[in-house]
Amino acid sequence: MYVIDTSSIVAFQSAPPRGERRGKQKINYITFHIMRQDILEGIYQYHLFLYDEYWYLKKGKEIGVLNSNVIYHHYNQFYNEILLQSNTYRSIFSIPELEMFAMKQLNIFHYFFVEILL
């Protein structure tokens, strides 16, 4: 399920053609971010930002949140399985080492999520 505030997108899409300005901005870049702290807390959502041509000077406008539980549900299962299976190796691996290992595997889930979006 995707949760996106489309009112901001409409405001950007209704921008005048190049060269004309009516107070609206032109979308040049759309970025999405997932925060490490959110992942550690089990909140799997991407924050979407819109940027104009002066992205390096201005802060982007947050337009919504993509709920990515569909993909990251599998990451959560993977993480819980690592912790469960590690009980037999408790003397070899510490919990922080296991968490670091699981965080390094996040790239796989992120790339999969990006491929679904595109």
Pair 5, 53 in one domain: yes
Each residue's pLDDT tens digit, 61-115: 888 888 888 888 899 999 999 988 888 877 788 888 888 898 899 888 888 888 8
Taken in order 97, 76, 104, 29, the sign of the CA dihedral is negative
Residue at which a domain ends, from 27, 45, 67: 67
Task: Give the count of domains, the chain.
Answer: 2
Pair 41, 99 in one domain: no
Long-range contacts of the stretch 95-100 (C-beta < 8 A, 24+): 99/40
Each residue's pLDDT tens digit, 52-61: 877 767 777 8
Pair 57, 76 in one domain: no
Pair 58, 33 in one domain: yes
Between these two residues, 7 and 79, which has the higher pLDDT value?
A: 79
Q: Which pLDDT score, from 0 to 100, does residue 81 have?
A: 92
Pair 2, 57 in one domain: yes
For residues 39 and 77, is the Cβ–Cβ distance under 8 A? no
Pair 26, 75 in one domain: no
pLDDT higher than threshold 50 for residue 14? no
Pair 62, 86 in one domain: no
What domain range is 83 assigned to? 70-118
